C-alpha cells in the first residue's frame, strides 16, 4: 500500500484528481472505464477539480460508468441527505458529458434491499469489475459503511450503523443522532478490494488515529480499511494534518518512497 503525503487538502485533492483523469484518459478506446465513488467531505475537492478538468476539455466522462459506495436505507433520492442527491449536486450535474444511465447508486428505498445489493454486484461483474475505486474513511477507519468488525471479504449488503457513525453524521441531520438512518446499503470490503486500483483520501486531524491504525497496525476487522494492505494496487492520498499519529519513521519512509518515484 502506497501512502502519498501532500501538504494540505487542496494539494491532496489535486493529486488524486490528476490520477483519476490520467486513468480515464489512458483507458480511451478500451470500452467503459468503471469508477467507484464515495460521498463525504473528503472527495469534494477531487470532484471540484474533476469538474474543472471536464469543463476545460481535459477529461471526458462520456465512457465512464460509476458505482457509488453506499446509500442510507429508507431515504428517498429526493431527501436532502440522500447520497443520490449529494452526488448529483456535487458532481454529476456539473459534468458536461456524464450519461445519466451510466450512474449507479444503491436505491435506499428498494422494496427488497438484499436483492438490490445482489443486483449491484452483478452489474459491476457484468462490466468486468471496477477499474478504480475512490474512497474516504470514517474516523473509526470504516470504508463505505463497513463499520468495525465487518468481514474483510464482505460483499454489497445491508449494514447497521454504529452509534459513533450516527453521532458523527448527525451534523447533517440537525445534530440529532436519532434522525440519522440506523442502516445503510453499502458495497463490501471485498467489493472494494476486487477493484483493479483503490485510491483512498484521508485528510484532517480527526482522521489521524485511523490513518495510523490502517497503515501501521495489522490487517484487522477493527479498522476495515486496513484490508487494503493486502491489495496490490492501493494508494492512500493524505494531507499533513492526517499524519499526526504516524511514527516519524513511517512518515519519513513514505516521503522517501515518493521521492524515489519521482527520480
For 54-57, the CB contacts below 8 A with 24+ separation are 54/94, 54/95, 54/96, 54/97, 55/94, 55/96
Q: Which of residues 127-146 bind ligand GLP (CB under 6 A)?
A: 136-138, 144-145
Q: Which stretch binds ligand GLP (CB under 6 A): 25-33, 37-45, 46-54, 249-257?
A: 37-45
d(CA 262, CA 188): 34
φ/ψ (deg, to 5) at 245: -105, 5
Which residue matches cell numbers 490520477? 19
Contact between residue 68 and residue 109 where contact means Cβ atoms under 8 Å apart: no
Contact between residue 241 and residue 11 where contact means Cβ atoms under 8 Å apart: no
Site string for ligand GLP, 167-206 (x = CB under 6 A): --x-------------------------------------
User: Which of 13, 42 has the CB closer to ligand GLP?
Assistant: 42
Q: Which stretch binds ligand GLP (CB under 6 A): 10-18, 36-44, 173-181, 188-196?
A: 36-44
Site string for ligand GLP, 41-60 (x = CB under 6 A): xx------------------
Asked about 97 being catalytic, the answer comes back as no
Non-local CB neighbours of 203 within 8 Å, separated by 6+ positions: 9, 12, 42, 238, 239, 241, 242
Asked about 104 being catalytic, the answer comes back as no
**What are the helix and strand counts (H, E) for the chain?**
8, 10
d(CA 192, CA 76): 25
For the chain, the residue count is 263
Interface with ligand GLP includes 163 (CB under 6 A)? no
Residue 26 CB, nearest approach to ligand GLP (Å): 26
Region of 65 (left: φ > 0; alpha: ψ -120 to 50; beta: rest) is: beta
Which residue among the candidates 71, 131, 140, 241 is catalytic per the annotation?
140
User: Which of 41, 163 has the CB closer to ligand GLP?
Assistant: 41
Asked about 88 being catalytic, the answer comes back as no
User: Which of 92, 145 has the CB closer to ligand GLP?
Assistant: 145
Interface with ligand GLP includes 238 (CB under 6 A)? no
Residue 66 CB, nearest approach to ligand GLP (Å): 14
Interface with ligand GLP includes 38 (CB under 6 A)? yes
Asked about 216 being catalytic, the answer comes back as no
Nearest CA-CA partner of 33 in 155, 197, 154? 197
Could you list the active site residues? 70, 140, 142, 147
Binding residues vs ligand GLP (CB under 6 A): 38-42, 69-70, 136-138, 144-145, 165, 169
Amino acid at each position: 500500500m502506497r501512502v502519498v503525503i501532500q501538504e494540505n487538502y487542496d494539494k491532496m485533492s489535486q493529486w488524486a484528481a490528476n490520477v483519476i483523469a490520467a486513468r480515464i484518459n489512458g483507458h480511451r478506446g478500451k470500452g467503459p472505464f468503471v469508477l467507484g465513488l464515495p460521498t463525504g467531505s473528503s472527495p469534494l475537492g477531487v470532484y471540484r477539480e474533476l469538474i474543472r478538468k471536464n469543463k476545460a476539455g481535459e477529461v471526458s466522462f462520456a465512457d465512464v460508468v460509476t458505482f457509488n459506495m453506499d446509500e442510507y436505507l429508507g431515504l428517498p433520492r429526493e431527501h436532502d441527505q440522500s447520497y443520490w442527491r449529494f452526488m448529483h449536486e456535487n458532481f454529476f450535474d456539473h459534468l458536461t458529458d456524464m450519461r445519466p444511465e451510466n450512474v449507479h447508486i444503491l436505491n435506499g428505498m428498494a422494496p427488497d434491499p438484499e436483492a438490490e445489493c445482489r443486483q449491484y454486484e452483478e452489474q459491476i461483474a457484468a462490466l468486468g469489475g471496477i477499474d478504480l475505486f475512490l474512497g474516504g474513511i470514517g474516523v473509526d477507519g470504516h470504508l463505505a459503511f463497513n463499520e468495525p468488525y465487518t468481514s474483510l471479504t464482505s460483499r454489497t449488503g445491508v449494514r447497521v450503523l454504529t452509534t459513533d457513525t450516527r453521532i458523527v453524521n448527525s451534523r447533517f441531520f440537525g445534530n440529532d443522532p436519532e434522525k440519522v438512518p440506523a442502516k445503510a446499503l453499502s458495497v463490501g470490503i471485498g467489493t472494494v478490494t476486487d477493484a483493479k486500483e483503490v485510491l483512498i483520501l484521508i485528510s484532517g486531524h480527526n482522521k489521524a488515529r485511523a490513518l495510523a491504525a490502517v497503515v501501521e497496525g495489522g490487517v484487522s476487522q477493527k479498522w476495515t480499511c486496513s484490508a487494503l494492505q493486502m491489495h496490490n494496487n492501493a494508494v492512500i492520498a493524505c494531507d499533513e494534518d492526517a499524519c499526526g499519529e504516524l511514527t516519524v519513521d513511517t512518515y519519513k519512509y513514505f516521503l522517501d518512497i515518493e521521492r524515489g518515484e519521482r527520480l
